[in-house]
Structure 1
Amino acid sequence: MPFNSERHGNPPLTPAWALECWLWEDDVNTAERVDELLRGYAEHDIPVRTILIDSPWSTRYNDFEVDTLRYPQPDKWFRQLENDGYRVVLWMTSMVNSFSKDTAIKNSQVWYDGVAEIDFLAGGKLQSKWWKGRGGFIDYSNPAAKKWWQAQQQNLFDLGIDGWKLDGTATFFSSRFLGLPVPYLRSYSGIMTTRQYMDSYYREEYLHGKKQNPEFVTLARALDGDFIHPEGFAPIDAAPVTWVGDQEHIWQAPEIENEDGFGDKIFGGSEGLETAIKDILNSAKLGYNIIGSDVAGFSGREIPANLYIRWAQFSTFCGLFLNGGHGERALWKRSQTELQIIRKFSWLHTELVPYIYNYVVSAHAGGKVLQRSTGIDYNYFFGDDFFVAPIFQDSFHQEVVLPPGRWRYFFDDRGIIDGGNKVARDFPLDEYPFFVRDGAIIPLNIKRDYTGFGDQNSAGYLTWLIYPHDKNKIQVFHPDNGGETTVAVEQKNKQINVKFTGHKMPHILLIATADKPKTVLLDNKSLKPVRNWNYDATKQRLKITTDLYENGNYQIDF
């Protein structure tokens, strides 16, 4: 936990939709570009659940009025996104600007003066420069100021938005003495420190959004490097979804210095994929749970193909898959290799959402977070049942020392590797150093065939990927109905037993086994081969499909 852990609570219950794939771009910032991207992703069958609309989208920063030149007919457009099944998150900060860098209304001195004169800004008329202009900080401690601010936001809530991206202006909350920043300002409630203001910003925006929409989220910074707010930007209890921006389109730092194209980068120097991995693991160590980074980096020159692929693969095994930033994000305009591999891993991340959601529930209750470092290099556990050895260099070869236990390589799970052994091999672009614990029971939501665990016919079923070894069980929480299902597996002699309790739902069992079973029983009734179950000798996998059951007791004999 952070050194000032008393200011943190447990992570919130992140809604399941926010665990699916996000998409955004920061080069055009128009409805036309969003529509083009979403249409192309749908045509190429790349999953997107959330569209993030970054700055600028308003007529001036944080007036919460949609710029209709960029986003015409916002009422109709936002409703259409909702009707098409997308969730929408909008960028914002806590600033009331007198000057905005790149909005339709750049000079808003009169607007700023009107807000400052009624004492709605902390620090009075003291202005601060930030990367999008200059202005003052809305005073969350002033009830009248907060009421006014939230009233400005209401038209966006009425459009049905699902979240805010809370960018990092609160860290600039300070006065000056002899030209040097001093970390406090006078507010309605008295002297307020930078840390106190940051906590107010993140908490107030999250809590108010939740009042408008129970499934509302905020996307907030967790960490961003080693030196700026090492205690974490957002309070953990107001951090349903976090990212560790901003990185560049590079593998490691320092690699490029003083390059063009980094003008929007807010904190830190030249950082790449390696820094994102490190910051995510350090964030998890502090107690943040659903964490990600801008896939392929936020800014820089052209995105290298291999970097885009490897970053997407790493993000598959994070709580947040955040595909966006500067650079070409229309994968069909890039290489076929990138499109096919990133599509495959985007679907794999989507399939893993039921597994990830279990750790949303766990962390919220004070238990384990999703990602936990092994303490060796940047290796980490993804939940209890997966081990990841991230690739952060442009190289196929990787040497991995497995943790204690029995492991299987996820992309060829037929063999068992004992923990403590070194795996030294090439990992082709369409694979990644991702290992599953023998004995694991993994819930998957499968709708396509890209990952090899099912196809379109799997939709509507919860798939259970089972690697039998001794005894194990898992309790899975269903976000749509609040119910729970427990699956217990026991392997002994030449028999595997699987027992379901709790909430009933159609399911598919995928059981790793080197042998074809002789009989399969469900609640003491024999299931018929082909119609109810089949065995794939090549994949060494037994598949059982069940729509209805009475007790949920399987007995598989060999």
Structure 2
Amino acid sequence: MKVRRWEGRAEDQFIQLTEGMVPAETLEDPVDSDDFTVEQLGPRHELVTVAPGGHRVALVLPGHPEQRFVGLGARHGLHVDQAGRRVQLGADRAYTGPDCPPDMLDVGGIPQGDYAPVPFVLCSRGWAAWIENDGSGVRFDLGDEVVLSVRSASGPLKVHLFTQRTPAARLRAFLEYTGSLPPVLPEWAYGFWKSRDVYPHQTDAEADWAGHRRHGIALDAIVLDSPWATQYNTWEFNPHQFPDARGYVSKLREDGVRTVVWVAPWVNLDSREGQYPPDDESARLHREPAPNYEPEHFVRGADGEPLVSKWWMGKGSPVDFTSPAAERWWREQAKRVLELGVEGIKADDGEGWYFPDDVQFADGRTGAEFAWGHGLAYRRSMQRALDEVHPGTGVLFGRPGWTGQQAVGVTWGGDQPSDFWSLKTLVAATLNAAASGFSNWSHDVGGYLGERLVSRATKELLARWVQFGCFTPLMQAHSRFEQEAWTYDDELLDLYREHVLLHERLVPYIRAAAATAQRTGLPIIRPLALTDPSDVRGWSIADAYGFGPSFWVAPVLEDGARSVHVDLPRGDWIEVATGRHVHGGGEVDADAPLHRVPLWVRRGALIVTYPAEHVARGLGDTPEHERPLEATLWGEPTCGRAKVRLADGTTIRYDRGEWTVPPDRPVVFEERN
């Protein structure tokens, strides 16, 4: 190991329209030294510390031609393996898909929001590294040398090196040390949620709910995305848009459907550039400063005055969550809405892009030191509000990432265009997010931004995205355009309904995997690198993954494809659609007609689900321990025994033809050979 320093300056450029950061620095020739300290923090855990100095400071580790790397948060790209890349976190995503103009391709693509970065990486050669830093400019150069660096303005370089025997053990050590083990969330957090970019009026939101009921699609929550409030962000329902907000929330809740409201951590002086309903009174409100604009609660600029910036919903100031008074002020406003019966918060925004290096937080840190730590403080505040009003049942749905955010609510993958390139990169991002400790994960089924940003997803794309969403911890559909299943055709409607229902049935299986994640850090979605690290394929597979302990899923990621070529993990597998037994460890071909996602189950696996008729409308309010179950044994287990422990503690055992279950739990058994 050695230390490397550069003099220079940062020249990053933020593209507000796409929330993309273009990283740039002017650096002088580096100077190498060995001025670092090493502290043993525990078995197989070292902390290497380098004092700040110059513009950028790095720890340099030897490279290796066979090193592979996964992690670093949700890395949107066509590859999972990050070897050979230079990644500046928060500035490492660009659209280079089929609709990217050639002149933009020449400069690396259209910069997009790098929503959920994490300064943690797993290496195939027996180590992992976490950079303990919350500033902008954290960089991982994973080439012939491994160069882990920060800008000196963010403080000392602190690199934690984990050398536990397996990648899963190294991930667990990182999550335990940072307090980032993911929680087991309420059942409805793993169900099916629906939203639109804008519900112009309460009647439109009611129509969406009614559409799911009319067409027999299970539903657990409606998300009222932006806008729903009088201005950004007042925590007050707009009476011209929702004339009976309490009644609306209550009516849905009586039908077993929860309400989630969107928010961003800004209070606006001018909301005209945001979204608002088409009526004149709503337009008038959005021209006015938000009535809860209280300057003492905001992040401050270098001049000591509240930071005022343009963001994608207008012009305003970000809340300073390092101030106990500001956090309490914001949380109490949220609680007023939650007390109406709202049970979820969609905590959008919160990434570090909007904080220049010289801004001041109330706890004394600068933007250079804390820009990317702000999102965790924001999420914790919102989770605290939910816990105080709906203890044990409220759910947070957040966008930003960084160290610690794995432990708070569900994270979703941000904004994607509606094309197959974006679906493909989202699957890769999901795998790297999982390798970074995100277990409670979701995405916008169908893509949020639309095809070429001007029209909804095609039928084929929506079908394939629904199938990926089915095998994601939370299945959530959201778009700028009309992407309700019943607006396409009967074939798509049937496919959509069937996959939503399958996802609902899998909730006990998903939550059992979530309980494993809470104990061990092993996420619900499982890249092969975490479950069989000696299989070199696992460090590069970007189009298939483990879903819990027993499924292997291969989403269809090519337009028009009716078959897939899949790397199957070692072991014995059963193809779910055909019952065909397959020996893993190599490549297999599988048919993939439009109505089916290629799926395998490990031979001998015991899969516990809910009966279809029990969740056909959604999860509703039946207490988890009272729900009926179905237990399916897929092939004879190698040792003749199998056992499942659900998140509520229910244990089901199979032992050479004999089943054991709690006496008061209704269970239907099936054996498939």
TM over 0.5: yes
Structure 2, gaps ≥5 residues long: 1-70, 72-119, 121-129, 132-173, 277-281, 529-537, 617-625
Deviation at 1:38? 1.3
Residues 498 and 207 from structure 1, CA distance in 2 versus in 1: closer, same or farther, beyond 3 angstroms?
Answer: farther
Distance 1:168 1:386 in 2: 33
Deviation at 1:421? 4.6
Residues 450 and 133 from structure 1, CA distance in 2 versus in 1: closer, same or farther, beyond 3 angstroms?
Answer: closer
In structure 1, what is the equivalent of residue 563 of structure 2? 397
In structure 1, what is the equivalent of residue 188 of structure 2? 17
Deviation at 1:120? 4.5
- Matched residue SS, 1:168: coil
- Matched residue SS, 1:72: coil
Residues 359 and 133 from structure 1, CA distance in 2 versus in 1: closer, same or farther, beyond 3 angstroms?
Answer: same
When the two structures are aligned, how many residues end up with a matched partner? Answer: 459
Cα contact 1:484–1:503 (8 A) shared by 2: no
In structure 1, what is the equivalent of residue 582 of structure 2? 417
Distance 1:71 1:244 in 2: 29
Deviation at 1:143? 2.4
2:583 partner letter: D
Question: Deviation digits for residues 472-500 of structure 1, max 9, x if unmatched?
Answer: 3223225xxx432131333xxxxxx2331
Aligned partner of 1:135 among 316, 319, 335: 316
Distance 1:279 1:29 in 2: 32
Q: Does 1:115 align with 2:294?
A: yes
Cα contact 1:485–1:504 (8 A) shared by 2: no
Distance 1:159 1:450 in 2: 26
Q: Does 1:372 align with 2:546?
A: no
Q: Does 1:235 align with 2:405?
A: yes
In structure 2, what is the equivalent of residue 92 of structure 1? 263
Cα contact 1:115–1:121 (8 A) shared by 2: no
Deviation at 1:210? 1.3
Normalised by the length of structure 2, the TM-score is: 0.65
1:510 partner letter: E
Which runs of structure 2 are paired with 1:9-158 in the superposition (5 Å)? 9-100=180-271, 101-103=274-276, 104=282, 105-109=285-289, 111=291, 115-116=294-295, 118-123=296-301, 124-158=305-339
CA RMSD after TM alignment: 2.3
Distance 1:473 1:304 in 2: 42
In structure 1, what is the equivalent of residue 670 of structure 2? 510
User: Could you tell which deviates more after superposition, 97-106 or 389-398?
Assistant: 97-106
In structure 2, what is the equivalent of residue 461 of structure 1? 628
Residues 209 and 79 from structure 1, CA distance in 2 versus in 1: closer, same or farther, beyond 3 angstroms?
Answer: same
Distance 1:503 1:185 in 2: 61
Residues 122 and 82 from structure 1, CA distance in 2 versus in 1: closer, same or farther, beyond 3 angstroms?
Answer: farther
1:339 partner letter: L
Deviation at 1:369? 1.2
Deviation at 1:450? 12
Question: Deviation digits for residues 149-173 of structure 1, max 9, x if unmatched?
Answer: 2232232111111111111144234
Cα contact 1:354–1:476 (8 A) shared by 2: no
Question: Deviation digits for residues 225-270 of structure 1, max 9, x if unmatched?
Answer: xxxxxx46x61111x2111011011110xxxxxxxxxxxxxxxxxx
1:115 partner letter: E
Question: Deviation digits for residues 184-212 of structure 1, max 9, x if unmatched?
Answer: 52122212411221221111211221121
Deviation at 1:145? 2.0
Distance 1:68 1:412 in 2: 54
In structure 2, what is the equivalent of residue 521 of structure 1? none
In structure 2, what is the equivalent of residue 295 of structure 1? 445
Question: Deviation digits for residues 25-54 of structure 1, max 9, x if unmatched?
Answer: 114443212211111111111111011110
Question: Deviation digits for residues 465-522 of structure 1, max 9, x if unmatched?
Answer: 11223333223225xxx432131333xxxxxx23315574011001114xxxxxxxxx
Distance 1:502 1:509 in 2: 14
Percent identity over paired residues: 27
User: Could you tell which deviates more after superposition, 205-214 or 81-90?
Assistant: 205-214
User: Could you tell which deviates more after superposition, 53-62 or 103-112?
Assistant: 103-112
Deviation at 1:121? 4.2
In structure 2, what is the equivalent of residue 327 of structure 1? 481
In structure 1, what is the equivalent of residue 499 of structure 2? 345
- Matched residue SS, 2:247: helix
Which runs of structure 2 are paired with 1:121-520 in the superposition (5 Å)? 121-123=299-301, 124-175=305-356, 182=357, 185-192=359-366, 193-214=370-391, 215-221=393-399, 231=402, 235-238=405-408, 240-252=409-421, 272-300=422-450, 301-374=455-528, 375=538, 376-394=541-559, 395-413=561-579, 415-448=580-613, 461-467=628-634, 468-470=636-638, 471-478=640-647, 482-490=648-656, 497-502=657-662, 504-513=664-673
- Matched residue SS, 1:359: helix
Distance 2:652 2:615 in 1: 28
Distance 1:485 1:334 in 2: 42
1:316 partner letter: C
Structure 1, gaps ≥5 residues long: 176-181, 224-230, 253-271, 452-458, 491-496, 514-558
Normalised by the length of structure 1, the TM-score is: 0.78
Distance 1:353 1:389 in 2: 20
